[in-house]
Amino acid sequence: MYSSCYFYLFHFCLLFITCLAQTNFHPKTFFLAVKQDPSTLQYITEIQQRTPLVPVKLAVHVGGENLWVDCQTGFKSSTYKPARCNSRQCNLAKSTSCGDCKTKNKTRPGCNSNACYNIVSNPALNNTFYSGAEIAEDVMTIQSINGSNTGPESRGPVVTIPNFIFSCSPSFLTQNLGKDVKGMIGFGQQSSVSFVTQLASVFKFSRQFAICLSASPQENGIIFIGHRPYLFALGFDASQDLFYTPIIRSSPEYYLHVSSIRINAKTLPLNNTLLSLGGTRISTAVPYTVLEPSIYDTVSKAFISEMPENVKTVSPVAPFKTCFNSSFIGISRLGYNAPGIYFVLHDPNVFWTITGANSLLLVKQGVFCLAFVEGKKAMGEAIVIGSYQMQNNLVEFDLPRRRIGFTNSLFFRQTMCSDQFYTS
Ligand SMILES: *[C@@H]1O[C@H](CO)[C@@H](O)[C@H](O)[C@H]1NC(C)=O
Ligand SMILES: *[C@@H]1O[C@H](CO)[C@@H](O)[C@H](O)[C@H]1NC(C)=O
Ligand SMILES: *[C@@H]1O[C@H](CO)[C@@H](O)[C@H](O)[C@H]1NC(C)=O
Ligand SMILES: *[C@@H]1O[C@H](CO)[C@@H](O)[C@H](O)[C@H]1NC(C)=O
Ligand SMILES: *[C@@H]1O[C@H](CO)[C@@H](O)[C@H](O)[C@H]1NC(C)=O
């Protein structure tokens, strides 16, 4: 009922721009459930789109510029609208071409006359996977949070966005995305059609979102979109624990400055030029943090030497190169006992603490590996922070203030990303 009401109001809104002020509910925060696909290690969320509404599974890509979905196979919707050449939608979605789809006698979503296209890519594969995709609008719904509640009643109404702009890709682009995953949802910082930008502009809130990835493929984590608080069980507000570092580049992707790395008390001798010029990207499309080879080598040696004497290295298990016999690795509330890894950020007093839960991975019976991978020599970037290191940390992306916030492991607070009332 709320949805149809909202739908009506939105159309009304096109004539009277202040319409949101006339509704009595002003959602400032929305959420999506997010869960790891065990086969691809991608993090997957589900949106409701089209008329009639259907659930659509999408891989999360924080640096993605748009939401794209396979329209070639099984896309049915009575409210699908291709973006007409030179329209506002084409502009917002940075169209690169315009015209008629070749099989124009059979128009379908993704293939219409007088429609514009942009380029979409699948970074989960590699940079060779690009395609033109028809820019379009359709109905989408999203679950809001009722900020006046903290307990199990904290879900607010489902809200409808009648004209959500997305890109309609051919089916081949979904290769390797995992079972039933139909596209990707982008939260890039500069795009006018990224998920957070569109929601923020429709509902008039500040462009920010916070990601909390669960470590278990059986349990949902959460993406908060919009305003704080970020409430977990027992009323703990994770936004209180955030410490910030600046976003350092103008790029759809998110870069921050890692100025040095410490392991326990030792500051590692790393190439500062590489750290500053190459920079550090944070990406949900990469499963394990990738380190440039000279950095990997230094981190690996220091990690081994800081392990207790009785923990022996064993033959590596790909894609990892540093593995240990698990027999003497202890476990505590904070995860496996491992040397602390500290990514020192823009300021020597601001560092991200990576404990055993995010640095060691049980790869098979009896073998733990350092869950970082060695990049290619010519990777350009010094570090790409991947999803394993983000698990059970809350990471906030605050676009207007150009900063990224980290909480450190929620295990320090005896909670975790699945431990909230919204998605569990
Ligand atoms: C497309 O439609 C036109 C007009 O209806 C028709 O003349 C033409 O043969 C059709 N082409 C194909 C490939 O079906
Ligand atoms: C990109 O991925 C495809 C499919 O997985 C693979 O066939 C191709 O070799 C890859 N290319 C590069 C440059 O890695
Ligand atoms: C929010 O929660 C309060 C308290 O339970 C309730 O009275 C109110 O109707 C809720 N608002 C919406 C929009 O669901
Ligand atoms: C440090 O990194 C820069 C940039 O990649 C490189 O040009 C330079 O040779 C490196 N210095 C050393 C001592 O390896
Ligand atoms: C780990 O150490 C135990 C005890 O020394 C030994 O029995 C086992 O074979 C070792 N495992 C591996 C994978 O080396």
pLDDT digits (tens, 9 = 90+) for 57-101: 999 999 999 999 999 999 999 999 999 999 999 999 999 999 998
- pLDDT value of residue 340: 97
- pLDDT value of residue 103: 67
Distance 125 CA to ligand 2 centre (A): 7
CB–CB of 190/196 below 8 Å? no
Nearest ligand, measured from the Cα of 379: 4
β-strand pairing of 221-226 with 97-99: unpaired
- pLDDT value of residue 154: 86
Distance 332 CA to ligand 5 centre (A): 21
Share of the chain above pLDDT 70, in %: 93
Q: Report whether residue 190 contacts ligand 3, using a CB cutoff of 6 Å.
A: no
Q: Report whether residue 325 contacts ligand 5, using a CB cutoff of 6 Å.
A: yes
Distance 126 CA to ligand 2 centre (A): 6
Beta-strand ranges (E) seen in 309-371 are 313-314, 323-325, 331-332, 335-336, 341-344, 351-354, 360-364, 367-370
Structure token digits, residue 299: 């981190």
Q: Report whether residue 314 contacts ligand 5, using a CB cutoff of 6 Å.
A: yes
The whole-chain average pLDDT of the chain stands at 91
- pLDDT value of residue 333: 83
* DSSP string computed for 146-209: -TT--STT-EEEEEEEEEEEEEEE-GGGGTTS-TTEEEEEE--SS-TTSHHHHHHHHHT--SEE
Spatial separation of the C-alpha atoms in residues 43 and 225, rounded to whole Å: 16
Nearest ligand, measured from the Cα of 316: 5
- pLDDT value of residue 101: 86
Tell me the pLDDT tens digit for each residue of 115-160.
999 999 998 766 667 899 999 999 999 999 987 777 778 889 999 9
Tell me the pLDDT tens digit for each residue of 23-38.
567 889 999 999 999 9
Spatial separation of the C-alpha atoms in residues 363 and 313, rounded to whole Å: 14
Those residues whose C-beta lies under 8 Å from the C-beta of residue 249, and which sit 6 or more positions away, are 255, 279
Spatial separation of the C-alpha atoms in residues 29 and 233, rounded to whole Å: 17
Residue 149: CB atoms within 10 Å: 13
- pLDDT value of residue 9: 41
Tell me the pLDDT tens digit for each residue of 36-56.
999 999 999 999 999 999 999
Spatial separation of the C-alpha atoms in residues 364 and 324, rounded to whole Å: 11
pLDDT over 70 at 13, yes or no: no
Tell me the pLDDT tens digit for each residue of 244-293.
999 999 899 999 999 999 999 999 999 999 999 989 999 999 999 999 99
Q: What's the average model confidence in pLDDT over 299-328?
A: 96
What are the Cα distances from residue 188, in Å, to 158, 258, 423? 24, 20, 23
Nearest ligand, measured from the Cα of 314: 5
Q: What is the pTM of this model?
A: 0.90
Phi, psi of 109 (to 5 degrees): -55, 130
Please give the helix or strand (H or E) that residue 46 lies within, else none. Answer: strand 43-49
pLDDT over 70 at 4, yes or no: no
Q: Whose CA is nearest to atom 7 of ligand 3?
A: 148
Torsional sign, CA 298, 357, 413, 152 = positive
Question: For residue 280, how many C-alpha atoms fall within 13 Å in the half-sphere facing its CB?
Answer: 23
Q: Which of 24, 25, 146 to mutate to test the pocket of ligand 3 (most atoms within 8 A of CB)?
A: 146
Distance 73 CA to ligand 1 centre (A): 23
Share of the chain above pLDDT 90, in %: 81
Distance 327 CA to ligand 5 centre (A): 7
Confidence class of residue 422 from pLDDT cuts 50, 70 and 90? very high
- pLDDT value of residue 399: 97
Q: What share of the chain is helix, strand, coil (3-state, %, to 5)?
A: 20, 35, 45
Identify the residue with better confidence: 153 or 231. 231
Question: For residue 275, how many C-alpha atoms fall within 13 Å in the half-sphere facing its CB?
Answer: 16
CB–CB of 254/247 below 8 Å? yes
Phi, psi of 80 (to 5 degrees): -65, 130
Q: Which of 39, 40, 122, 126 to mutate to test the pocket of ligand 2 (most atoms within 8 A of CB)?
A: 126
Nearest ligand, measured from the Cα of 271: 4
pLDDT over 90 at 107, yes or no: no
Lowest-pLDDT choice from 9-23, 277-291, 297-311, 330-344:
9-23
Judge whether 2-205 and 241-413 match in fold: yes
Q: Whose CA is nearest to atom 10 of ligand 4?
A: 271
CATH among 3.40.50.150, 3.30.9.10, 2.40.70.10, 1.20.950.20 for 2-205 = 2.40.70.10
Spatial separation of the C-alpha atoms in residues 149 and 344, rounded to whole Å: 37
Q: Whose CA is nearest to atom 14 of ligand 3?
A: 156
241-413 has which CATH code? 2.40.70.10
- pLDDT value of residue 23: 53
Q: Whose CA is nearest to atom 12 of ligand 5?
A: 325
- pLDDT value of residue 169: 95
The gap from C-alpha 105 to its chain's centroid, in whole angstroms, comes to 39
Which ranges of 316-422 does DSSP label H, i.e. alpha helix? 356-359, 387-390
